[in-house]
Chain A
Amino acid sequence: MQALRMTLCAATMAVAFAANAAEVEVLHWWTSGGEAKAAAELKKMLEAKGHKWKDFAVAGGAGENAMTALKTRVVSGNPPTAAQIKGPAIQEWGEEGVLASIDDVAKKEGWDKLLPPVVSNVMKYKGSYVAVPVNVHRVNWLWVNPELLKKANAKVPTTLDEFFAAAEALKKAGIQPVAYGGQPWQDATVFESVVLGVGGADFYKKSLVQLDQNSLKSPTMVKALETYKRIKPYTDKNAPGREWNLATAMVINGKAAMQFMGDWAKGEFLAAGKVPGKDFLCVPAPGTAAAYTFNIDSFAMFKLPNKDAEKGEKDFASAVMSPQFQEVFNLNKGSIPVRSGLDMSKFDACGQESAKDFAATSKKGSLVPSMAHGMAVHSATQGAIYDVVSQFWNDDKMTAKQAADKLANAAKVK
């Protein structure tokens, strides 16, 4: 790490004097331990290029507070250099006409070759890059406490049938099978993994990305909904409102055996001093080994008043995509680099598998955007889908058929 920093400083010192200094103000919500460390790396890199880093961190989970702060700044005509915006929200901001193109940086560094097309399309508005991706999170993971599984004589599930068999065995052994957090976004996270497991990547794309009415009402969707609801008896009564990290803690402490959650859960395990592959396992969510739901953090670039500021903006974009930053950042954050062809030897087993699957699914076309994490559909549609999924999970009177019809209606919300 120290050596890396030294080379970084040396390499960038030369250009630092030539470049005009600009104030680079970046809005983000990386305020938790590992995240803040990752953000500090970025700051160091930009300062090495001679720019002044102005931190604009707004605390608050999924960034709702940050978005409110951002809207205020943009409406008052004083946007930050870049803001943590991801997925179709980039298009929504693009439609508001406030984003700036960074095509020249992207062309010079060959981003089109470095990023899978499903990813680069998200970063573009009307064909030109307006955002730079930071990392890739895999959402369709299942986190397993192997000790509890051993106790119940259950094996690590790879298909949904095996999953329910294992859950049944665990329940018989008096162990809570699934740790569950009952918040709408977590409901949706589990749901989309089940849809992927039941219907496969093509069905997932048709239903949850393209919002095809027939797919949403199809028997496959009904089956996916039924399967999703079958998980409920294996969770506990206190799940509603529980935070995801508390659910993860249940797996860590041996109170529950499995959790459906994205790879940010790994950070909790590591922070608790657990070793991947030994104390906990990361396996693809049952039935989804051949697919990959991605959640990519990115920074959208805003139109700025002068050339110096634009220079700072471009240096920022280039720094974010640089191999050094991608490695350092993702080692801290628990995710994997978004650019292809990086050496993954410093990453743990989960990270290496994630990177391997990311590349493989990208070639096969089963790399799909996560609906639950704002990568697939507009925020209004996503919210409407959340509502249906949560309602279906909580309301035992609603049938899967009714829920499928409601999903189809929710998909029409624009």
Chain B
Amino acid sequence: MSSYNGPAQYGFAERWLPRLVLAPSFLLTLVFVYGFILWNGYLSFTTSRLLPNYEWAGLAQYVTLFENERWWVAVKNLFIFGGLFIGGAMAIGILLAVLLDQKVRQEGALRTIYLYPMALSFIVTGTAWKWMLNPGLGLEKLVHDWGFTNFTFDWLVNPDMSIYTVVIAGIWQSSGFVMALFLAGLRGIDDSIIKAAQIDGASLPRIYWKIVLPALRPVFFSTLMILAHIAIKSFDLVMALTGGGPGFSSDVPATFMYSMAFTRGQMGVGAASAMMMLMTVAAIVVPYLYSELRGSRNG
């Protein structure tokens, strides 16, 4: 860029044009993302209840938050849901991608079928699974009607198991998407490497495990980022599927935050819980991002 030797007015445009075109989106992001994060952070230290107010309260809202049993249920659920959802969607997605990569017939049609759930919103997924998992309406009734009357599958209405129904619906929706990402990644791998390995006598599973999957590291990275982000912000799926219930047994931090800030007149506690969510994301993402980005620069 600096080697450009045109007339002076072009130099000016060249210097300013990139900044000029980036400025609006940069400014919008600065204000509407980072500005609001700061504002929320400030609110979490105030006595805000129904509306924001700016009376300083120190750490009082955090104390209230940490003493709230429901918050800890929400946090525990986030880890259960996050872990199983990311792990499950990733495992099934990769498996589907690998299987679909075996030059099967009608691949396009199959790919569409697997990917289609992603086209639905989580609200639709949640509602559909709510019907399927409802003991009096869905799976349990179906099996009973087949004659197996001892069969029970009442996770949806069981406070100890309700969060796992969210996991099931989440994995169902997202694994097709993971498959699509990995399939694209697989197609990007140079055939000659695989052929060379085959000539060396490596078995197909071994080729995948040792050569193909490691080559998919960047895909893996972005998939993990997307899934983690879906898991932490998950709100609509829980709302549609269980409504956070029975009781508050399937509450997650996002639904907790919403009900505190918007329905219970405890905006301060809601803001504090939102900050805790941000901290959790930051604690996981920042070190990972750092190591990945530094790694790729060095490599």
B245 contacts A383, C-beta separation under 8 Å: no
A237 contacts B135, C-beta separation under 8 Å: yes
Return the chain B residue nearest A182 by Cβ.
B246
Return the chain A residue nearest B243 by Cβ.
A241
Kindly provide the distance from the CB of B104 to the nearest chain A CB, expressed in whole angstroms.
Answer: 40
Out of B50, B137, B259, B260, which one reaches A238, CB within 8 Å?
A: B137
B263 contacts A67, C-beta separation under 8 Å: yes
Stretch at the interface among B152-160, B215-223, B281-289: B152-160
B249 contacts A96, C-beta separation under 8 Å: no
Interface residues of A, count at CB 8 A = 32
Contacts A92-B49, A96-B51 hold; do A380 and B266 have CB atoms under 8 A apart?
yes
B247 contacts A379, C-beta separation under 8 Å: no
A383 contacts B157, C-beta separation under 8 Å: no
| B214 within 8 Å of A (CB atoms) | no
Contacts A240-B246, A390-B247, A394-B247 hold; do A93 and B259 have CB atoms under 8 A apart?
no
B50 contacts A183, C-beta separation under 8 Å: no
Residues 4-33 of B, flagged 1 when their CB comes within 8 A of A and 0 if not, give 000000000000000000000000000000
Using Cβ atoms and an 8 Å threshold, which residues of chain A touch B265?
Answer: 89, 92, 378-380
Tell me the bound Cα distance from A239 to B134 in angstroms.
10
B136 contacts A182, C-beta separation under 8 Å: no
Kindly provide the distance from the CB of A68 to the nearest chain B CB, expressed in whole angstroms.
Answer: 5
Using Cβ atoms and an 8 Å threshold, which residues of chain A touch B233?
Answer: none
A238 contacts B70, C-beta separation under 8 Å: no
Contacts A96-B50, A387-B70 hold; do A237 and B262 have CB atoms under 8 A apart?
no
Interface residues of B, count at CB 8 A = 31
Residues 129-162 of B, flagged 1 when their CB comes within 8 A of A and 0 if not, give 0100011110000000000000000101101000
| A210 within 8 Å of B (CB atoms) | no
| B248 within 8 Å of A (CB atoms) | yes
Residues 374-398 of A, flagged 1 when their CB comes within 8 A of B and 0 if not, give 0000111011000100110111000
| B52 within 8 Å of A (CB atoms) | yes
B248 contacts A387, C-beta separation under 8 Å: yes
Give me 14 other A-B pairs in contact (C-beta within 8 A), A236-B136, A238-B157 excluded.
A67-B263, A68-B262, A89-B50, A184-B245, A238-B134, A238-B135, A240-B245, A241-B157, A379-B263, A390-B247, A390-B248, A391-B249, A393-B246, A395-B159
A64 contacts B262, C-beta separation under 8 Å: yes
| A272 within 8 Å of B (CB atoms) | no
6 contacts between A and B (CB under 8 A): A67-B262, A182-B246, A238-B137, A238-B157, A383-B260, A387-B70
Tell me the bound Cα distance from A395 to B247 in angstroms.
8
Tell me the bound Cα distance from A1 to B69 in angstroms.
54
Using Cβ atoms and an 8 Å threshold, which residues of chain B touch A236?
Answer: 136
Task: Identify which of residues 282-337 in chain A touch chain B, using a CB-to-CB cut-off of 8 Å.
Answer: none
| B77 within 8 Å of A (CB atoms) | no
Tell me the bound Cα distance from A64 to B258 in angstroms.
10
A380 contacts B247, C-beta separation under 8 Å: no
Out of A237, A241, A378, which one reaches B242, CB within 8 Å?
A: A241
| B264 within 8 Å of A (CB atoms) | yes
Tell me the bound Cα distance from A92 to B49 in angstroms.
9
Tell me the bound Cα distance from A391 to B89 in angstroms.
31
Contacts A71-B50, A379-B264, A379-B265 hold; do A240 and B248 have CB atoms under 8 A apart?
no
A390 contacts B264, C-beta separation under 8 Å: no
A-B residue pairs, 9 tightest by C-beta: A238-B136, A390-B247, A394-B246, A383-B264, A394-B247, A240-B246, A240-B157, A379-B265, A391-B247
A241 contacts B245, C-beta separation under 8 Å: yes
Using Cβ atoms and an 8 Å threshold, which residues of chain A touch B242?
Answer: 240-241
Kindly provide the distance from the CB of B273 to the nearest chain A CB, expressed in whole angstroms.
Answer: 14
Using Cβ atoms and an 8 Å threshold, which residues of chain A touch B70?
Answer: 387
